[in-house]
Structure 1
Amino acid sequence: MNATSTIPVLFTIVSLCLQQPLIAADDKSTDSSELQIDSVLVSLIEEVEVPAREVGQLNTIKVKEGMTVEKGAVLAQIEDSEAMLLLQQAKLEYEMAQLKATNDVDLRFARKAYEVANAELQRAEDSIKKYPKSISKTELDRLKLTAEKSELEIEQASEERKTTQLEASLKRNAEQIANLAVQRRKVVSPIKGMVVQIMIRDGEWVRPGDTVLRILRLDRLRAEGLINASRLQEQDLMNHPVTLIVNPGTKQVMEFQGKISFVSPEINPVNNQTRVWAEIENPDLKLKPGMRASLIIK
């Protein structure tokens, strides 16, 4: 074969090579059932700057940097002597109102008085039937008025009891408000995590909104990367299990398990890539925010 005849053959081979699809640098496939993203960034899911909710002097910081705290744990205490006294007063007032609301002596006395007055009126009417002039009309009118008055006193006692019950409810509400004022002077952790920074120290003055501590959740982290959108056309990756590999190919390799929690609906028109992230379980806290790793999607 001469040199002239080989030129078309070489041109054809080059053209076929150029037509082969390019593999994106960010994702590969180890087999037909896996997708691999070579470069993902580990980041935080939850990071909280815990604020003071009331004004006052910070009496006690109960934690140190590096300590792991549970959700709802008291981290610091703002001076609460006045709030405690107001709470005690509110409790006593509620107890007094509750005793008054449950006291039905007046109602029972009114009912008994009505029974007596009604019985006396009935005897007088029976006597008149037998002996028409035995009781004067004035006396009969007085007995009727007494019976009616006793009946109205029952109604009055019932209404007064309703009022005392409402007053007890108001005192109960006042006690709850006073208790809330005490609770708001406690700086409480809204999440389970690690204290990484303390902004205010014992004895310093705080105002509502001032950041007292900073807490990071480290037992579950996010691994975020980019994947070619063409790999997702026929796949729904949501909740798929994943394996995160840190330091692949070295003696310090570590593996963590998780699942896909988000696939962005947006596609970059320049490189045809979309964002994907997974939530990774990190019970031993060996995985750190800021690490780079590989992600294998099952």
Structure 2
Amino acid sequence: MFFTPPNKRNVLLAAIAVIATWSTMPDRVFAQSYSTQLQSPGQRVVADNCSVKYIRNVNIPAEVEGKLIELNVEEGMNISEGDVLAVVDDTAAKLALELKRAEEKQAMLEADNNVNLEDARNSRELADAEAESHKKLYDEQAIPFWEMKKKVLEAVRAALRIDLAEMQKKIASAQYIAKRSEREIAQYEQQRRQVFAPFDGYVETRIAQRGEWVQPGSPIATLVQLDRVRVEGVVDALAFSGRVRAGLPVTVRVFASSDRERPVVVQGKLGFVSSELNLRRQVRIWIDIDNVKDENGAWIVKPGMQAEILFE
């Protein structure tokens, strides 16, 4: 057993205390520096890994089966909303539409026909007059009872003919509505054989060929929107907690050329902030910006270009 003098024992205890203090110091320093980083209001928020993307990039499909008899698009064309891009063989649909139009016209004429109703009203008026006349003759005993009764029943029958004519007119009106709906269905079927542009855009790819047999859903062409594009990136959700939210004013810098010192600068408001963090504790954000054309008519900002999103 060794004996430690009192002075040396005090020195040893002091050394152990110093070592214990050093072992806990890095954790406190890291926590303090990280807390300072989170609460630093002067640090500017800049989104990472930003790039330009399409807002709309759509394969325009055929809606019906048939042979493609018209194809009005080529790659590189600018298309307006509502333009007819292609037509699937619509011969049968056009004939069916003409038939339904004729049937609708016939039903409309029958619904507007008041001849039967007016004739029934006139017949009732005559029958009522004859019935009153025969009643007087019967009262004067100039005619037998059965002849007077016959005229009274004919007046009742004439009243029923008015009800029948009114009912037939209502039926004709209902039939007209049905024929009109059939004509609208035939018109819709004929329109489905025309492929329309759903928005103003640029034909990126022509997929189908004229004379090709297409099925419902077969893509005709790829249409993209270039007058308005989306700049998307990610932001550290923890380092800038509470400082990134939709609606904040931001500055977008798009590097449209090899000279990164001369970017395209656009001001706007942040459109979206994701509620989900990725594995690097980042949230996805984006902003939609208006695109412009150069002096040659080409769009300046193109999907795939690198960009930056800077918060004010």
Query: Shared fold by TM > 0.5?
Result: yes
* Unmatched segments (≥5 aa) in structure 1: 1-10
Aligned to 1:95: 105
1:266 is paired with a residue whose SS is strand
State the shift of 1:32 in Å. Answer: 4.5
Query: Whole-Å Cα distance in 1 between the matches of residues 43 and 269 of structure 2?
Result: 15
1:244-293 deviation per Cα after TM superposition (whole angstroms, max 9, x unaligned): 1123973542123333121111224x533222111122143311111111
State the shift of 1:17 in Å. Answer: 7.9
Q: 1:271 aligns with which of 272, 280, 299?
A: 280
Query: Whole-Å Cα distance in 1 between the matches of residues 191 and 185 of structure 2?
Result: 10
Q: 2:235 aligns with which of 227, 232, 248?
A: 227
2:268 is paired with a residue whose SS is strand
Is the radius of gyration larger for structure 1 or structure 2? Answer: 2
Query: Whole-Å Cα distance in 2 between the matches of residues 33 and 292 of structure 1?
Result: 23
Query: Whole-Å Cα distance in 2 between the matches of residues 35 and 252 of structure 1?
Result: 21
1:36 is paired with a residue whose SS is coil
Query: Whole-Å Cα distance in 2 between the matches of residues 22 and 216 of structure 1?
Result: 45
Query: Whole-Å Cα distance in 2 between the matches of residues 73 and 238 of structure 1?
Result: 35
Q: 2:289 aligns with which of 280, 288, 298?
A: 280
1:61-95 deviation per Cα after TM superposition (whole angstroms, max 9, x unaligned): 11211112122221111121221111111111111
* Unmatched segments (≥5 aa) in structure 2: 1-21, 294-298
State the shift of 1:198 in Å. Answer: 0.9
State the shift of 1:108 in Å. Answer: 0.6
Query: Whole-Å Cα distance in 2 between the matches of residues 53 and 60 of structure 1?
Result: 15
Confirm or deny: 8 A CA contact 1:76 1:186 kept in the other structure. yes
1:20 is paired with a residue whose SS is helix
Confirm or deny: 8 A CA contact 1:55 1:206 kept in the other structure. yes
Range 272-281 or range 91-100, more displaced: 272-281
- CA gap of 1:168–1:247, structure 2 versus 1, over 3 A, is closer
Q: Does 1:171 align with 2:185?
A: no
Aligned to 1:210: 218
Q: Does 1:193 align with 2:201?
A: yes
Aligned to 1:8: none
Aligned to 1:73: 83
Letter in 2 for 1:223: V
Confirm or deny: 8 A CA contact 1:259 1:280 kept in the other structure. no
Identity %: 32
Aligned to 1:4: none
2:288 is paired with a residue whose SS is strand
State the shift of 1:36 in Å. Answer: 2.1
Confirm or deny: 8 A CA contact 1:44 1:216 kept in the other structure. yes
Query: Whole-Å Cα distance in 2 between the matches of residues 127 and 83 of structure 1?
Result: 67
What is the TM-score with the length of structure 1 in the denominator? 0.84
Aligned to 2:126: 116
Q: Does 1:257 align with 2:267?
A: yes
The 5 Å alignment of 1:129-148 reads 129=139, 131=140, 133-148=141-156
Confirm or deny: 8 A CA contact 1:258 1:281 kept in the other structure. no
Query: Whole-Å Cα distance in 1 between the matches of residues 43 and 201 of structure 2?
Result: 35
1:230 is paired with a residue whose SS is coil
Letter in 1 for 2:126: V
Confirm or deny: 8 A CA contact 2:270 2:286 kept in the other structure. yes
Q: 1:291 aligns with which of 305, 309, 312?
A: 305
2:304 is paired with a residue whose SS is coil
State the shift of 1:33 in Å. Answer: 9.3
- CA gap of 1:238–1:210, structure 2 versus 1, over 3 A, is same
Aligned to 1:240: 248
What is the TM-score with the length of structure 2 in the denominator? 0.81
Confirm or deny: 8 A CA contact 1:257 1:281 kept in the other structure. no
